[in-house]
Amino acid sequence: MPTQLRLVHGDNLHRVNRDEPKPRAVLPECPVDVSPAVRDVWDYTLAELKAMKVISAADRDALLCYCEAVVKHREASQVLAQTKILVKGALGGLVRNPALQIQRDSAQSILVFAREFGLTPSARSQIRVAESTHGSGDDLLSG
C-alpha cells in the first residue's frame, strides 16, 4: 500500500517509510497523442484520484495504462455485444471469439491498476480518511 494511503488508513507509524522518494505535488499531464476515448477516461479518473488525494505527476504512466485498459475493455465489450461468443475459426470450426481474451486481459489490467490507486470498493474499504481530508482535494493538488 502506498505510504500516503498507509497514513490515511491509520497504519502504525513504525511501518511507514519516512525516507520514501517524494513525487512532485502536481497533477500528471495527459500525453497529447491519446485518443479522445482515453482522454475522457483520464479526465474522469484524474478528478476522482484528485478528490481522494492519491495522485501525483509520477503516476502518469500507470494512470495512462489504466485508462487505455478501460478503453480496450469497452471496445472488446462492444464487439462482443454485436457478435457471438463462438465464431468460425480458420479451419471452419467454432472457436471462442478473440474479443473475449482482450476483454478479460483488459479487465485484469484495470483491476490491478484500480487497486493501486484505491479505485475499487475493497481497496477503499481498507482506507480511513480523516474528516479534514474529505472534499474536493483542491487543497492538496491544483491544476
pTM > 0.85 = no
pLDDT at 54: 86
Which mean pLDDT values do the consecutive 10-residue runs of the chain (143 residues) have?
59 65 88 98 97 91 98 98 95 96 98 92 73 46 47
In degrees rounded to 5, what are phi and psi of residue 96?
-65, 140
- C-alpha to C-alpha distance for 135 and 56, rounded to whole angstroms: 17
pLDDT at 24: 82
pLDDT at 23: 83
Burial degree of 34 (CB within 10 A; 0-12, 13-18, 19+): middle
Q: How many CB atoms lie within 10 A of CB 10?
A: 11
Per the listing, cell 486481459 goes with 105
pLDDT at 128: 63
The H-or-E segment that residue 95 falls in is strand 94-96
